[in-house]
Amino acid sequence: MRKLSVIGLGLAGFAGLVFGLFAVLNGADGVSAQNKGKRKIEAVDAPKAVGPYSHGIVANGMVYTAGQIGADPKTGELAEGIEAQTDRALKNIEGVLRMSGSRMANAVKTTVFLADMNDFAKMNEVYAKHFPEPFPARSTVQVARLPRDAKVEIEVVALAQP
């Protein structure tokens, strides 16, 4: 019985050595585990990020976009009205997806944040023009406030490959 315990301890020690060596070799390039396998997207067709975030991240075959409001990427001006802001926000999203190599048709999930749920029908009418069928799954929520007092913010999860 003692011989089996010694063999078991030896195998456990060997397994620890293998896993430790694997961890050292994988971490030797200076890239943290959080950054492995993900790529940052910066789009010229979307307003510049004003905080510690990326326009989008490509990881595991998916594109995750930051929320976009209806601000013009060139002037930074917020569009007037819910329809114009929705249209501009979705054009900004389209620019992020294009930079990642994806497109709106690859969207699988969106989240729409509205400052006023009474704007739902107007937002929905513009939204429908930007996505082909089958439409992505979607959540729409009313929020207390959006950046720059925007009326709408939209984020998208899409397949990375067209």
pTM across the whole model: 0.78
CB-based burial label for 138 (10 Å; 0-12, 13-18, 19+):
middle
Structure tokens at 151: 């009326």
pLDDT (tens digit per residue) in 95-128? 999 999 999 999 999 999 999 999 999 999 999 9
Q: What is the distance between the alpha carbons of residues 73 and 47, in angstroms, rounded to a whole number?
A: 4
The letter for the amino acid at 124 is: N
- Neighbouring residues of 8: CB distance < 8 A, sequence distance ≥ 6: none
pLDDT (tens digit per residue) in 22-38? 443 444 444 455 566 89
Between residues 34 and 10, the one the model is more confident about: 34
Q: What is the distance between the alpha carbons of residues 27 and 25, in angstroms, rounded to a whole number?
A: 5
